[in-house]
Structure 1
Amino acid sequence: MKWKDWVHVTKLDPDKQLKAGDIEAIASSGTDALMLSGTLNVTQENLSALLKEVKAYNLPLVMEPAGPEAVLMQGIDYVFVPSVMNTTEVTWIVGKHKVWVQMHKGKIPWEDAIVPEAYIVLNPNSSVGRVTKAVCDLKPEEVAAYTSVADHYFHFPIVYIEYSGTFGDPVVVKAASEAVDRAVLYYGGGINSAEKAAQMGKYADTIVVGNAVYDQGPAVLKATVDAVQ
């Protein structure tokens, strides 16, 4: 199954710890892929340690970098590279990306593994919201406009509605889904039950579950998978 066909992705944070047996439970939940991603304290070392833990389970693996200083490309199926559409700082749209390219000097597998993401960050209290200085108090029509710009003008293959740690407004996600045409619409934030997974799964092509795995344990993951598959 290619990434465009995924409906459920589990996000694992290199800066957080899972209990013994959790990764096996996560891998057997039915989730389509594992995404290695975090905002704070992400290093090559903790990324590599997490990769070592998960690679034995034969699930597609995605690396989503927080910055150019910690990016894995070996042993990873895809690198999803975010650009924040609603940031006030250009470095989070293209500046970090320029540094990354300079660091790797022609060794980036553009055609095989790199998938650009247009992020729309909507939780001002989240780490990603604070770090990227995202303007989060957007009306549904503004989110739809960003979605359309990302899809039609910049041709991002993924538009990612990110509420990061809190459950978002379905009206906003619905507006984004109505504005998107060619891109795959991802939703992440606060999905910790089958009901919430189903609610956002009505509008998003792919839902991402992260914090719930750490807060409630991997048993909740199976419920969210079953709700959208």
Structure 2
Amino acid sequence: MSGLPPIPVASRRDVVADRLREAITSGQLLPGQKLTEVALAEQLGTSRAPVREALRQLEQEGLVVSYPYRGTEVLGVSQEEIEHVLVPIRISLEQYAFRKAAERLDADSVAELESFIAMMAAAAAAGDDSALADADVRFHDAVVSLSGQPHCLQIWRSIQPRVRAYFRRDAGHYADASVVAEQHRRLLAALRAGDEPELEAEVERHIRTHFAEPRGGGG
């Protein structure tokens, strides 16, 4: 198992979960890799209890899986799963959420979304794949939250860790990572325009670009 830096003794489940989540989505921990409470607790410099709780949380997020008599393993995000499960769910959910968000959009919301786009541009310029993926997820999270639809937000939060995992997995493959910010500028422009058919079309184009241009697409 690749080395993970220790964390302060006072840290609890959330810090352990954050550390493991980042290791999984960045590829430091690989699909199929076995995770044991004892080894992780030793590497992270904590007790087994927060590790056990963190693994349960990550299993709920779909990033690890526990098997009887086999322990816990890292789950990968396959291209097949992305294309046939996550993308269709995202299109349906986000088309609805963007429509509802357009009705509630105000100056503060626009400023917040523009700040995430600026983060994407800065991360792309710095070659920071993790920050790029984070800003991308935060943009979509903000729109779904703005929609004011609790069930949309609940579904989004349930798939968000795996969505971030494939954003993070592919962030290093962009031919030109600056396109990610530009794609989100087009999304924001469509959101501000409020034309429902065009907004829905732009959301679908945006999500499907990942497959049309695998080396230049975004999330």
- Structure with higher Rg: it is 2
Give the TM-score normalised by structure 2. 0.29
Q: Could you say which structure has the higher helix fraction?
A: 2
Give the TM-score normalised by structure 1. 0.29
Q: Could you say which structure has the higher strand fraction?
A: 1
